[in-house]
C-alpha cells in the first residue's frame, strides 16, 4: 500500500480519514499477526500537543475497542523518551558523566542559564541592542531550540544570524524603564555584529556543555542530542527500524523539521505512513514548525485532497474577506448577512458591550453559552477579568483556554513563603511588614486587615538572619485587639516558634498546609495552586541537590523564583461546566481545533491581528530549511505577516458556523486611535 498524504482545510475530516486508514491497517495487517497488539505497537503516532495526543489516542482506542494500542506522542516527548532510553549510548559516545538525566523546567532553565552566563552578561559581552537581561536569556534559549528543531549545529548560528539579520552596529544603550536595560559605561567598546553572533554561539555551547556535565536536559538539549547524536547513530537506527513499521503524523504543518527527518528515515526503511496537512494551519510557524519542509514527504505519497466543510460562514465569505483585507477597496460592497460589529470609543466600554450582547443572546435563548467563543489576538489581564466578571454576574459560565496564573498571585502561597522566612535562618531580607500582615489575615480567620497591620507594625521584629514575631503584649494597647484576634495571633506565633529549622523545607510546607488550609476545605482553584507549589518545591530541591547548592541558597532562590511569577498553575477545574463561553487567544483557539456557531473577534481594529506577537520567536524564519540565505528584510516580514493573517482568517472563518461579531474600540488601552488591518471588513459589517 502506498503512503497517504491527506490534505484539507479546517474541519474537513482529515483526522477522520486518517483513523479510517488505521482501521484498515488493523484489519489487513495487525489482525493477521501472531500477536496483534505487539504489531499495533509498531505504530508511531505524532501529534502537535498533549491535548491532541490524548484525544487521538482515545479515539483510536475506542474505534478498535482497545485491541490495538499505539505509541502516541508529541515530537518533543518522543525525543525526550528516546534520549532517556538511549542515555547510556549517548554517555559512551560523548564521554558524559554516568548519571541519570534530570529534565529542567522552563523557569529553572531560565534561572540557571542566567547564572551560567553571569560573567558574560555583567561585562556586556553578551547582549543585544534594546533587549533586557532576562529577555535576552530567554531569546538565546529559544535560538538554541530553533536551531535544534531545524537540525542546525550551534556553530552555524553566527553564520545564519550574520547573513539573515538586517541591523546596524550596536550603539550604547540608554536606560529605559520599558525594557529594563541599563546602559553600559560610555567608554566601553561595543561588539560588532559578527562578534555579537559569535559570542551568542559560544554562550550556547557553554550552556550545552554545562548541561551535559551536570546531566541536565532541556527541550533544546534533548532535540539537539536527538538530531545530531542519536538519529544519525547506526546502532540507534537499527533499533528504530525494528520498533516502528508504521507512522502517523496528525497535522504535519505544525511539526518541526527534525520530526520530518525522523519520518523520512522510517519511510526510507519501508515503514507505512499516513500524514495530514492543513494549508490554512501552520499556527506554530515561527515557533519551530516547518510546513514547507514537510512537502518533501508529500511527493512520496498518494495525495488525497478533501473538500472544505460546507454550511459554514467561511464557505460563503472567506475568499471575498481575504481579497478585501489584502487589497482594500473603497468601492461600495454590500454588508455580509451574518457579520456584525460591536463598537465603542473606549476599550473598557467595549468589554461591557460585548458581555451584555452575549448575555442578552443567551438569556433570550437565541444561542447557548457553549455555542459562543470570544477570540482575541492577545488577552491581557484587564480584558480577561472584565469579561469574565460581567458574564459571571449574569450567571453565565466562562471557560478560558489554558489560563495560567503565577503561583505568586495566590495569597496562600505568599503566606507560606513568609512562614519559611520566619522559620529558617538568613532569610529576613525577603520579608517585610506587609508580608507579615498579609500572612496574619490569610492564616487566621479572626485577624482582619486592620488588626493585622497593627500587629505587623508593633509585634514584628525585622532582622536579616532571625526575624521574629513578638508577643502581642509588645503593643502597649494590645487589649484593643480583642480576645479572638489576640488568641489567634498567639497561637500562630507559638506554632512558628515550635518549628525547627532542621526540618526539611518540603516537610514544613506540607505541615503548614495541613495545619492552616486543610481544615478550610479550599476549592479546586486554591487546592491546585498549593499542589503546584509542592511539586515545584520538590523538583527545585531535587535540582539544587544535583548542583550541590547549600540549603540556605536553595531556600532564598526558591522564594525569589516564586515571587518573580515565572511559575504558574491552572486555576480552573479540569471538568468545567459544559455550557460555558470559551475565551481564548487566536493561537490557543486554533491549536485546540475548536469550532463554534458564534464567534466574537475581540479588538478587531487592533494591529495585533497582523503581527505574530508571542507566536513568533526571534530569527525564526532563518532557521527554516527553505531559507534562501538572504537578508530577512522588513518587506519579507510584512509579506510573512500578511500570509499568516490570510491563513488564520481562513482557519477561523472555517470554524465559524452561523454568525461573526467584530468587536472593536476606536481607542486602544493607551489612548491611540486604532487602524488595524481588519478595518475594511468592519466597515461593511452590520
Angle subtended at Cα 59 by Cα 53 and Cα 64, rounded to the nearest 5 degrees: 130
Task: Give per-residue pLDDT as tens, 7-28.
Answer: 999 999 999 999 999 999 988 8
Q: Is the pLDDT of residue 177 over 50?
A: no
Of residues 576 and 467, more confidently modeled: 467
Q: What is the pLDDT of residue 577?
A: 62
CA-to-CA distance for 389 and 387, rounded, in angstroms?
Answer: 5
As a whole-number percent, the residues of the chain with pLDDT over 90 amount to: 60
What one-character DSSP code corresponds to residue 123? T
Averaged pLDDT score across all residues of the chain: 88
> Distance from CA of residue 328 to its chain's centroid?
34
Angle subtended at Cα 382 by Cα 381 and Cα 385, rounded to the nearest 5 degrees: 80
Q: What is the mean pLDDT of residues 549-577?
A: 78
Angle subtended at Cα 517 by Cα 512 and Cα 521, rounded to the nearest 5 degrees: 150
CA-to-CA distance for 135 and 435, rounded, in angstroms?
Answer: 28
CA-to-CA distance for 80 and 411, rounded, in angstroms?
Answer: 35
Give the range among 108-117, 365-374, 383-392, 517-526 with minimum mean pLDDT.
517-526
CA distances from 661 to 221, 223, 351, 388, 416 (A): 44, 42, 13, 18, 45
Q: Contact 317/684 with Cβ under 8 angstroms?
A: no
Q: Which three cell numbers stand for residue 525?
A: 482553584
The ranges assigned to domains in the chain are 4-84+227-305, 102-214, 313-403+583-683, 408-569
As a whole-number percent, the residues of the chain with pLDDT over 70 amount to: 93
Q: Which three cell numbers stand for residue 383?
A: 480584558
Q: Contact 496/422 with Cβ under 8 angstroms?
A: yes
Task: Give per-residue pLDDT as tens, 577-588.
Answer: 678 899 999 999
CA-to-CA distance for 61 and 40, rounded, in angstroms?
Answer: 11
Q: Is the pLDDT of residue 191 over 80?
A: no
Indicate the pLDDT class of residue 168, thresholds 50, 70 and 90.
very low
Indicate the pLDDT class of residue 534, thresholds 50, 70 and 90.
very high
Q: Is the pLDDT of residue 5 over 60?
A: yes
Q: What is the pLDDT of residue 332?
A: 58
Task: Give per-residue pLDDT as tens, 365-390.
Answer: 899 999 999 999 888 778 888 888 88
What one-character DSSP code corresponds to residue 226? I
Q: What is the mean pLDDT of residues 131-141?
A: 92
Q: What is the mean pLDDT of residues 132-159?
A: 94
Q: What is the mean pLDDT of residues 497-508?
A: 92
Q: Is the pLDDT of residue 331 over 60?
A: no
| Burial letters 400-421, b for 16+ CB under 10 A, else e | bbebebbbbebebbbbbbbbbb
Q: What is the pLDDT of residue 167?
A: 61
Q: Is the pLDDT of residue 188 over 50?
A: no
Indicate the pLDDT class of residue 573, thresholds 50, 70 and 90.
very low
Task: Give per-residue pLDDT as tens, 24-58.
Answer: 998 888 888 888 888 888 999 999 999 899 999 99
In 71-138, beta strands by DSSP E: 71-73, 102-103
Q: What is the mean pLDDT of residues 130-135?
A: 88
3-state class (DSSP) for residue 507: helix
Task: Give per-residue pLDDT as tens, 404-437.
Answer: 788 998 999 999 999 999 999 999 999 999 999 9
Q: What is the pLDDT of residue 330?
A: 53
Q: What is the mean pLDDT of residues 97-123?
A: 91
Indicate the pLDDT class of residue 575, thresholds 50, 70 and 90.
low
Q: What is the pLDDT of residue 607?
A: 87
The total number of residues shown for the chain amounts to 686
Q: What is the pLDDT of residue 538?
A: 92
The most confident of 125-129, 243-247, 548-552, by mean pLDDT = 243-247
CA-to-CA distance for 552 and 425, rounded, in angstroms?
Answer: 8
Indicate the pLDDT class of residue 668, thresholds 50, 70 and 90.
confident
Indicate the pLDDT class of residue 65, thresholds 50, 70 and 90.
confident
Contacts of 245 (CB under 8 A, 6+ apart): 39, 42, 43, 270, 271, 272
Indicate the pLDDT class of residue 76, thresholds 50, 70 and 90.
very high
Q: Which three cell numbers stand for residue 576?
A: 468545567
CA distances from 18 to 14, 23, 398, 592, 595 (A): 6, 9, 33, 18, 20
Q: What is the pLDDT of residue 392?
A: 86
In this structure, the dihedral spanned by the alpha carbons of residues 185, 189, 190 and 193, taken in order and rounded to 10 degrees, is 180
Residue showing cell 522564594: 559
Of residues 299 and 234, more confidently modeled: 234
**Same fold flag, 4-84+227-305 and 313-403+583-683:** yes
Q: What is the mean pLDDT of residues 188-206?
A: 79
Q: Contact 656/596 with Cβ under 8 angstroms?
A: yes
Q: Contact 206/93 with Cβ under 8 angstroms?
A: no
Q: Which three cell numbers stand for residue 8?
A: 484539507
The Cβ of residue 548 has, within 10 Å, a number of other Cβ atoms equal to: 7
3-state class (DSSP) for residue 608: helix
Q: Is the pLDDT of residue 364 over 70?
A: yes
Give the range among 29-33, 528-532, 557-561 with minimum mean pLDDT.
29-33
Nearest to 575 by CA among 410, 403, 399, 407: 399
What one-character DSSP code corresponds to residue 225? H
Q: Which CATH number fits domain 4-84+227-305: 3.40.50.300, 3.10.520.10, 3.30.1780.10, 3.40.50.720?
A: 3.40.50.300
Indicate the pLDDT class of residue 192, thresholds 50, 70 and 90.
low
Q: What is the pLDDT of residue 418?
A: 96
Looking at domain 313-403+583-683, its CATH superfamily turns out to be P-loop containing nucleotide triphosphate hydrolases (3.40.50.300)
Q: What is the mean pLDDT of residues 594-608?
A: 91
Burial, 205: exposed, middle or buried (Cβ in 10 Å; 0-12, 13-18, 19+)?
A: middle
Task: Give per-residue pLDDT as tens, 204-221.
Answer: 999 999 999 999 999 999
Q: Is the dihedral of CA 233, 238, 243, 249 positive or negative?
A: positive
Amino acid at each position: 500500500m502506498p503512503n497517504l498524504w491527506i490534505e484539507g482545510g479546517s474541519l474537513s475530516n482529515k483526522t477522520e480519514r486518517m483513523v479510517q486508514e488505521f482501521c484498515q491497517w488493523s484489519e489487513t495487517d495487525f489482525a493477521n499477526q501472531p500477536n496483534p497488539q505487539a504489531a499495533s505497537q509498531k505504530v508511531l503516532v505524532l501529534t502537535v500537543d498533549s491535548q491532541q495526543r490524548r484525544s487521538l489516542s482515545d479515539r483510536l482506542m475506542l474505534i478498535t475497542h482497545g485491541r490495538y494500542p499505539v505509541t502516541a506522542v508529541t515530537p518533543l516527548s518522543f525525543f525526550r523518551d528516546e534520549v532517556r532510553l538511549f542515555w547510556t549510548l549517548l554517555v559512551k559516545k560523548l564521554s558524559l558523566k554516568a548519571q541519570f538525566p534530570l529534565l529542567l523546567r522552563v523557569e529553572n532553565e531560565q534561572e540557571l542559564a542566567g547564572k551560567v552566563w553571569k560573567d558574560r552578561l555583567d561585562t556586556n559581552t553578551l547582549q543585544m541592542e534594546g533587549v533586557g537581561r532576562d529577555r535576552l536569556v530567554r531569546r538565546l534559549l529559544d535560538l538554541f531550540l530553533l536551531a535544534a528543531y531545524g537540525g542546525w549545529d550551534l556553530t552555524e548560528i553566527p553564520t545564519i544570524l550574520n547573513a539573515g539579520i538586517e541591523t546596524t552596529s550596536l550603539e550604547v544603550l540608554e536606560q529605559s524603564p520599558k525594557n529594563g536595560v541599563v546602559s553600559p559605561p560610555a567608554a566601553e567598546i561595543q561588539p560588532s555584529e559578527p562578534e555579537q553572533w559569535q559570542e551568542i554561539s559560544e554562550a550556547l555551547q557553554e550552556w550545552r556543555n554545562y548541561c551535559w556535565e551536570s546531566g541536565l536536559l532541556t527541550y533544546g538539549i534533548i532535540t539537539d542530542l536527538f538530531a545530531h547524536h542519536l538519529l544519525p547513530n547506526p546502532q540507534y537506527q537499527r533499533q528504530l527500524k525494528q520498533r516502528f513499521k508504521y507512522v502517523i503524523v496528525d497535522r504535519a504543518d505544525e511539526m518541526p523539521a527534525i520530526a520530518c527527518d525522523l519520518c523520512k528515515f522510517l519511510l526510507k526503511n519501508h515503514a507505512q505512513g499516513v500524514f495530514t496537512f492543513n494549508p490554512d494551519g501552520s499556527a506554530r510557524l515561527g515557533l519551530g514548525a516547518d510546513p514547507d519542509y514537510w512537502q518533501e514527504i508529500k511527493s512520496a505519497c498518494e495525495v488525497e485532497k478533501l473538500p472544505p466543510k460546507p454550511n459554514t460562514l467561511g464557505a460563503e465569505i472567506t475568499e471575498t474577506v481575504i481579497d478585501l483585507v489584502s487589497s482594500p477597496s473603497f468601492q461600495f460592497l454590500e454588508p455580509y448577512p451574518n457579520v456584525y460589529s460591536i463598537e465603542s470609543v473606549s476599550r473598557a466600554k467595549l468589554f461591557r458591550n460585548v458581555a451584555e450582547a452575549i448575555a442578552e443572546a443567551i438569556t433570550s435563548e437565541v444561542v447557548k453559552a457553549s455555542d459562543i467563543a470570544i477570540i482575541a489576538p492577545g488577552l491581557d489581564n484587564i480584558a480577561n477579568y472584565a469579561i469574565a466578571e460581567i458574564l459571571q454576574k449574569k450567571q453565565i459560565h466562562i471557560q478560558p483556554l489554558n489560563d495560567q496564573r503565577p503561583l505568586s498571585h495566590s495569597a496562600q502561597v505568599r503566606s507560606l513563603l513568609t512562614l519559611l522566612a520566619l522559620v529558617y535562618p538568613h532569610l529576613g531580607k525577603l520579608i517585610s511588614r506587609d508580608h507579615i500582615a498579609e500572612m496574619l489575615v490569610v492564616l487566621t480567620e479572626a485577624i482582619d486587615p486592620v488588626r493585622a497591620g497593627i500587629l505587623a507594625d508593633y509585634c514584628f521584629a525585622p532582622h536579616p538572619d532571625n526575624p521574629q514575631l513578638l508577643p502581642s503584649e509588645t503593643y502597649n494597647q494590645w487589649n484593643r485587639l480583642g480576645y479572638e484576634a489576640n488568641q489567634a495571633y498567639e497561637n500562630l506565633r507559638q506554632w512558628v516558634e515550635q518549628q525547627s529549622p532542621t526540618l526539611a523545607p518540603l516537610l514544613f510546607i506540607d505541615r503548614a498546609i495541613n495545619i492552616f488550609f486543610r481544615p478550610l476545605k479550599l476549592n479546586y482553584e486554591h487546592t491546585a495552586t498549593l499542589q503546584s507549589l509542592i511539586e515545584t518545591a520538590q523538583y527545585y530541591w531535587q535540582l539544587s541537590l544535583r548542583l550541590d547548592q547549600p540549603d540556605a541558597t536553595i531556600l532564598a532562590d526558591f522564594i525569589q523564583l516564586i515571587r518573580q511569577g515565572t511559575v504558574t498553575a491552572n486555576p480552573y477545574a479540569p471538568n468545567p461546566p459544559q455550557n460555558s463561553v470559551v475565551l481564548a487567544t487566536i493561537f490557543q483557539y486554533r491549536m485546540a481545533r475548536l469550532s463554534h456557531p458564534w464567534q466574537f473577534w475581540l479588538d478587531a481594529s487592533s494591529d495585533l491581528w497582523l503581527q505574530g506577537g508571542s507566536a513568533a520567536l526571534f530569527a525564526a524564519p532563518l532557521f527554516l530549511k527553505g531559507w534562501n540565505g538572504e537578508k530577512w528584510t522588513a518587506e519579507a516580514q510584512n509579506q510573512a505577516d500578511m500570509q499568516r493573517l490570510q491563513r488564520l482568517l481562513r482557519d477561523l472563518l472555517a470554524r465559524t458556523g452561523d454568525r461573526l461579531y467584530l468587536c472593536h474600540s476606536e481607542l486602544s488601552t493607551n489612548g491611540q486611535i486604532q487602524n488595524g488591518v481588519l478595518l475594511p471588513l468592519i466597515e461593511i459589517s452590520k
